[in-house]
Amino acid sequence: NAGVTQTPKFRVLKTGQSMTLLCAQDMNHEYMYWYRQDPGMGLRLIHYSVGEGTTAKGEVPDGYNVSRLKKQNFLLGLESAAPSQTSVYFCASTPGLAWGETQYFGPGTRLLVL
């Protein structure tokens, strides 16, 4: 049981390049999330999904797109990377709305946009 995994762990992009971050979970969780973490800002929600085939915008969605074609995978795309997107990206998942259910986090992806 690997939990939540993220690919890649680290990436350097040039301004204008595109890339996709992959999040995979093997816990059969319904809900999945993408956050970004910047110094002094805590974690901020980019997009989330409440089930296969669904996505919704979070707090800071601009410049990102997501897809959830399979229940276990949640992809985060950057179509045209900007230096402001330099950050650490975390994926998380949770079974649903049950009391006390926390979110389970992946190890993070560090992205540097030059």
Binding residues for other proteins, per CB under 8 A?
31, 33, 40-45, 48, 50, 56, 58, 88, 90, 92, 94, 96-97, 99-103, 105, 107-108
| Residue with Cβ nearer other proteins (16 or 107) | 107
Distance CA 16, CA 80 (A): 4
Question: What are the Cα distances from residue 91, in Å, to 15, 75, 104?
Answer: 23, 9, 8
| Residue with Cβ nearer other proteins (21 or 92) | 92
CB of 81 to other proteins, least distance (A): 21
CB of 100 to other proteins, least distance (A): 6
Name the burial class of residue 71, with classes exposed (0-12), middle (13-18) and buried (19+) by CB atoms within 10 angstroms of its CB: middle
| Residue with Cβ nearer other proteins (19 or 43) | 43
| Residue with Cβ nearer other proteins (17 or 105) | 105
N- to C-terminal Cα separation, the chain: 36
CB of 34 to other proteins, least distance (A): 12
